[in-house]
């Protein structure tokens, strides 16, 4: 997903002595563990969502369940599904500074900043588009599209036109004429959708603040949270390690104070992941991740110990700050997510030395996260929408297992084909 999600597949490192930060690492050797870790996150985010449609699979169907009643609880207030999105954020943090520095070297600081502002807004815009698709489907069951829905619909048409032109630009004779305008149409349309999403989600929170539960638009899910976190973290992308830590700490403390006052945690929990306000908590999480990334490129042991410390302090503070809560992006959720994501990554990093074959499906999954999100949404999403209940919720365990295996194989083959074709849709 953009250079900060996708281009890190081509990021390489050299044996350098104590670099000052991750952006100073040179490029000679691929970091396969980062590729696989990102691929693992994408795989879990997509496949778990499919498996949850089959209650007959038992524990497998609960993998994507965030509910404390039915999900798989791993810590007080936290289910197994809650760690996947933060792990994806951690994958961004590992390579954000490296990717930004590459753009800066190639095109200059101003263009690099504009690029990442535009791409972060585009990620929010893409999430807005996917939310609109769900609302359009709901309209067949009685939901009435409002003025904002129709506005997003219009911008979505423009973005789709830009996307079609981008595909047509593959034709050699059309490439020169179509490539640049197609890219501008696509990204500007998505960026506008991203800006509008931030505005109306802020309005939603104000409405909730004045009248609990009275929100109107409901356009905020995981992709929006990821894009907004990138916006919050962008000012720190070139900062020294200690500045990243200090900035994240100040942002974390400010968000913690707000979260703990009055009924704020309940208000934040109304909108998915706390909406725009909760996005500052996700931003603090990403900056902490970037700090650990700097440590990783200096000394892996220190980075691992820091990750363990974050996880431990998060669990320790539960007694004062309350249980881990992804819904409101609670302070304990931020700390535990940073630490636990880091620990999971270091498992991948430690296992990297044992991977000797070219068969690397997790790398395939991680190379094109945006396309895989779209494929899963439109292919698997449509499948689970149109299939009768007997095929999904009413399926036997072996029928559900067969459907799950087919989904994994088909999506992995698509990921493999995209990887080998070297074609990508970057945001």
Domain ranges in the chain are 2-30+65-355, 31-58+356-427
**427 DSSP assignment:** -
Strand partners, 12: 30
Q: CA-CA distance, 29 to 284, in Å (whole number)?
A: 30
Using an 8 Å Cβ cutoff, are 332 and 284 in contact? Answer: no
- Confirm if 22 and 297 have CB atoms less than 8 A apart: yes
Between strands 73-75 and 29-30, the pairing is unpaired
Please count the other Cβ atoms lying within 10 Å of the Cβ belonging to residue 304.
20
The alpha carbons of the chain give a radius of gyration, in whole angstroms, of 21
- pTM score: 0.90
CA dist 111 and 117 (Å) reads: 10
Residue 27, pLDDT score? 42
Q: Position of tokens 């930060």?
A: 21
In the predicted model, what is the mean pLDDT of residues 38-54? 89
C-alpha–C-alpha distance, residues 304 and 318, integer Å: 22
Out of 13-17, 26-30, 69-73, 239-243, least confident range:
13-17
pLDDT digits (tens, 9 = 90+) for 229-257: 999 999 999 999 999 999 999 999 999 99
CB 330 within 8 A of CB 324: yes
**Beta-strand (E) ranges in 85-160?**
none
Q: How many CB atoms lie within 10 A of CB 28?
A: 10
Question: Over 90: is that where the pLDDT of 427 sits?
Answer: no
pLDDT (0 to 100) of residue 419: 84
d(CA 153, CA 133): 9
pLDDT of 64 reads 87
pLDDT at 18 over 70: no
| Other beta carbons less than 10 A from residue 218's beta carbon | 16
Taking CA 1 as the corner, what is the angle to CA 416 and CA 160, rounded to the nearest 5 degrees? 90
Q: Mind listing the pLDDT tens digit for each residue in 164-176?
A: 888 887 777 777 7
| Mean pLDDT (whole number) for 38-45 | 91
pLDDT number for residue 390: 81
First to last CA, the chain: 5
Residue 322 predicted with pLDDT over 90: yes
Q: Which of 11-15, 186-190, 352-356, 373-377 is modeled with the greatest confidence? A: 186-190
Residues in the chain, total? 427
Contact between 323 and 335 under an 8 Å Cβ cutoff? The reply is: no
Three-state secondary structure call for residue 169: coil
Is the pLDDT confidence value at 381 over 70? yes
pLDDT of residue 332 exceeding 50, the answer is yes
How far is 58 from 301, CA to CA, in rounded Å? Answer: 38
In the chain, the percentage of residues whose pLDDT exceeds 70 is 91
* pLDDT at position 8: 44
Residue 383: its pLDDT value, please?
84
All residues at 6 or more sequence positions from 239 whose CB lies less than 8 Å from its CB, including other chains: 247
Specify the higher pLDDT residue, 379 or 104. 104
Q: In terms of Cα–Cα distance, which of 205, 183, 196, 186 is closest to 152? A: 196
Q: How confident is the model at residue 375 (pLDDT cuts 50, 70, 90)?
A: confident
Q: Any idea which of 122-136, 226-240, 384-398 has the lowest mean pLDDT?
A: 384-398
Exposure b/e, 246-268, CB count within 10 A at least 16 = b: ebbeebbeebbeebeeeebbebb
User: What value does the mean pLDDT of the chain take?
Assistant: 88
């Amino acid at each position: 997903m953009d250079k900060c999600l996708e281009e890190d597949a081509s990021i390489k490192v050299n044996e350098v002595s104590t670099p000052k930060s991750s952006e100073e690492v040179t490029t000679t050797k691929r970091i396969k563990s980062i590729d696989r870790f990102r691929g693992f996150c994408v795989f879990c985010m997509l496949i778990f969502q499919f498996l949850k449609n089959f209650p007959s699979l038992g524990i497998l169907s609960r993998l994507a369940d965030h509910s404390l009643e039915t999900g798989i609880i791993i810590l007080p207030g936290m289910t197994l599904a809650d760690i996947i999105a933060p792990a994806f954020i951690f994958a961004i943090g590992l390579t954000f500074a490296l990717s930004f520095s590459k753009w800066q070297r190639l095109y200059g600081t101003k263009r690099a900043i504009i690029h990442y502002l535009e791409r972060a807004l585009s990620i929010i815009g893409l999430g807005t588009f996917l939310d609109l698709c769900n609302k359009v489907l709901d309209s067949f069951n009685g939901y009435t599209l409002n003025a904002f829905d129709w506005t997003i619909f219009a911008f979505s048409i423009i973005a789709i036109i830009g996307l079609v032109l981008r595909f047509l630009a593959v034709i050699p004779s059309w490439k020169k004429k179509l490539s640049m305008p197609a890219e501008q149409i696509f990204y500007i349309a998505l960026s506008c959708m991203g800006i509008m999403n931030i505005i109306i989600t802020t309005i939603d929170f104000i409405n909730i603040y004045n009248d609990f539960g009275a929100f109107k638009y409901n356009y905020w899910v995981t992709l929006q949270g990821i894009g907004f976190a990138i916006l919050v973290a962008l000012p720190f992308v070139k900062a020294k390690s200690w500045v990243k830590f200090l900035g994240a700490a100040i942002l974390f403390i400010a968000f913690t104070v707000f979260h703990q006052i009055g009924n704020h945690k309940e208000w934040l929990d109304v909108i998915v992941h706390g909406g725009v306000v909760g996005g500052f908590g996700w931003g603090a999480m990403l900056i902490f991740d970037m700090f650990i990334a700097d440590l990783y490129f200096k000394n892996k042991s220190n980075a691992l110990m820091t990750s363990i410390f974050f996880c431990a302090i998060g669990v320790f503070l539960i007694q004062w700050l309350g249980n881990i809560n992804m819904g409101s992006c609670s302070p304990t959720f931020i700390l535990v997510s940073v630490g636990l994501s880091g620990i999971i990554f270091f498992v991948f990093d430690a296992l990297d030395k044992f991977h000797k074959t070219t068969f690397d499906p997790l790398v395939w999954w991680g190379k094109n996260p945006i396309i895989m999100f779209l494929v899963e949404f439109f292919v698997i999403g449509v499948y689970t929408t149109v299939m009768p209940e007997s095929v999904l919720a009413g399926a036997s365990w072996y029928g559900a297992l067969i459907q799950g295996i087919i989904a994994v194989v088909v999506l992995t083959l698509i990921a493999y084909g995209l990887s080998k074709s070297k074609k990508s849709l970057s945001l």
